[in-house]
């Protein structure tokens, strides 16, 4: 008999996002006292998870409730990084996070930012979702 892999620790808010519970479920969990920026065992917040899943409704609900855009996970990645890595050419989540003030130049522990990632991706033109630096 093999041992099963240890599952990462999550919170009720992470579970609501992962189950695509929608804004109503997210609001319910927050009303029950959940910490909106609590991190799972990998350091991911519910906002990072929602951005990584491409769930605009959850991203919007979490942002409206005051989620922090710049909380880093264990690798120094922010929700904008999660949105960029999963976007596959759809910049809806990227644009939503940027409109709310996410830092496109936030460097992770490997020295890469979401903007740098977008510039390197060859399959999709992700760079079009990132404003030019210093207004240029």
Q: Is residue 46 within 8 Å of residue 69, measured between CB atoms? A: no
- Please tell us whether the domain made up of 12-135 is placed in CATH 1.25.40.20: yes
Both tokens assigned to 103: 């830092």
How far is the C-alpha of 103 from the C-alpha of 130, rounded, in Å? 10
Across 6-131, the runs of DSSP E, i.e. the strands, are none
- 3-state SS class at 14: helix
How do the domains of the chain map onto residue ranges?
Answer: 12-135
How far is the C-alpha of 44 from the C-alpha of 82, rounded, in Å? 10
Q: Is the pTM of this model over 0.75?
A: yes
Q: Please write the tens of the pLDDT for every residue from 72-131.
A: 999 999 999 999 998 888 899 999 999 999 999 999 999 999 999 988 876 677 888 887
How far is the C-alpha of 95 from the C-alpha of 131, rounded, in Å? 10
């Amino acid at each position: 008999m093999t041992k099963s892999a240890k599952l990462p620790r999550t919170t009720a808010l992470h579970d609501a996002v992962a189950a695509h519970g929608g804004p109503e479920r997210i609001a319910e969990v927050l009303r029950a006292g959940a910490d909106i920026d609590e991190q799972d065992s990998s350091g991911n917040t519910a906002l990072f998870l929602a951005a990584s899943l491409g769930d605009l409704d959850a991203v919007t609900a979490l942002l409206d409730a005051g989620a922090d855009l710049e909380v880093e996970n264990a690798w120094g990645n922010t929700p904008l990084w999660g949105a960029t890595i999963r976007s596959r050419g759809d910049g809806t989540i990227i644009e939503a996070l940027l409109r709310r003030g996410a830092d496109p130049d936030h460097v992770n522990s490997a020295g890469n930012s979401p903007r740098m990632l977008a510039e390197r991706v060859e399959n999709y033109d992700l760079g079009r979702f990132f404003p030019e630096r210093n207004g240029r």
